Amino acid sequence: MRIIFRKPFIFILAVCLTLFSTQTSAKEASIDTARNLLALEKDFIHQRIKEDWEAIYQYQHPKYREKISIEEFKFFNGRLSYNYRELADAHISGAKPPPVEYIKKSGHQRDMLGFPIPFKFRWVANPLFKMQSHSIDKVAISKNGALAKVEWKVNGLERVDPRFTRMDISYEIQLPFIDYWENTSEGWRISLLTLAPNISGGPLINYLIPNDNSAWKQSDFIEWDAEHLEHAGSTNNTLYSKDAQ
C-alpha cells in the first residue's frame, strides 16, 4: 500500500505524531524499570545511612568488587575510586595508599596515637559532615536501558575542623548528589566511579562520577520525577533492606 501526501504539512504532522507516539511508548515501557530503580536507590541510601558495609559493597559494580576488596572499601570509608591506586601513582607528590596486605591486616586507619578509627561512611570529603535528611528528585534511564542516574539532595551539618578555628563552628548545608547505575549481569549496580576533578572557581562536586564518562555523554535519557513514580505504583525491589525509607 502506497500513501501519497498531497500537502507537505500533512506529511510533517504524520512524522511528528509518529515520533511522539514512539517516545511515549518508550517512556511507558520503562516506567516499571524506573520504579524498581527508585526502590533500589532508596535502599542503597538507607544502607549507607545505617553503614551496613556488606550491603553497600554488594551494590557496587561486579568489576569494582573484582578489583577493590571489601577491606579496602571499608578502610577508606566507602569513598573510594575504582582506579584510586592508578591515580595515586600518577601523582609524584602526596602520600601513597598503603598496600592491600597492610589494609587487610590492619583493618582500620589509625589516629595520631595509633588507635583504630571506627568505620564511618563518608558522604563528602570532609569527615566532619553529618547527614541529617535527604530527598530524591529524579530518575533517568538511558533509552537503551544500559545506564541510569538518580538525582537527589542531602541536607546536613558541616563542621569546620576545630584544629584550624580553635572553636566549634558548624553550619547547615544542602548538597546535590547523583548516583550512577549500570545494568550488569547481576542487575542494576553502581557504575565504576572515580573522584570528580574540581576546577578552581567552579562548583565543588562531592559525589563520585563514572570512570569512563564518554558513554554517559553520548546516551539519551528518559527522566521521571521521583514523586510521579511514587504515585504511579509501588515496588519492593531491594537487594537487602525490607525497611528502606
* pLDDT tens per residue, range 8-25: 545 454 444 444 444 544
Mean per-residue pLDDT, 200-224:
84
The per-residue pLDDT for range 32-51, each reduced to its tens digit, is: 999 999 999 999 999 999 99
Domain 32-66+127-232 has CATH 3.10.450: yes
Chain-wide mean pLDDT for the chain? 81
**Taking the mean position of all CA atoms in its chain, how far away is CA 133?**
17
H/E stretch holding 170: strand 170-184
Whether residue 124 has pLDDT greater than 80: yes
Q: What is the DSSP string of 33-58?
A: HHHHHHHHHHHHHHHHHHT-HHHHHH
Please give the residue that has the higher pLDDT: either 206 or 68. Answer: 68
What pLDDT was estimated at residue 91?
57
The per-residue pLDDT for range 93-123, each reduced to its tens digit, is: 556 788 888 888 887 887 777 777 788 999 9
Name every residue whose Cβ is closer than 8 Å to that of residue 199 and which is 6 or more positions away in sequence.
Answer: none
Whether residue 7 has pLDDT greater than 70: no
The per-residue pLDDT for range 135-185, each reduced to its tens digit, is: 999 999 999 999 999 999 999 998 877 777 777 787 899 999 999 999 999
φ and ψ of 87, to 5 deg: -65, -40
pTM of the model as a whole: 0.80
Domain boundaries, the chain: 32-66+127-232
Of the candidates 206, 243, 195, 224, the residue with the CA atom closest to the CA atom of residue 28: 224
> How many angstroms separate the CA atoms of 244 and 86, rounded?
35
> How many angstroms separate the CA atoms of 93 and 175, rounded?
30
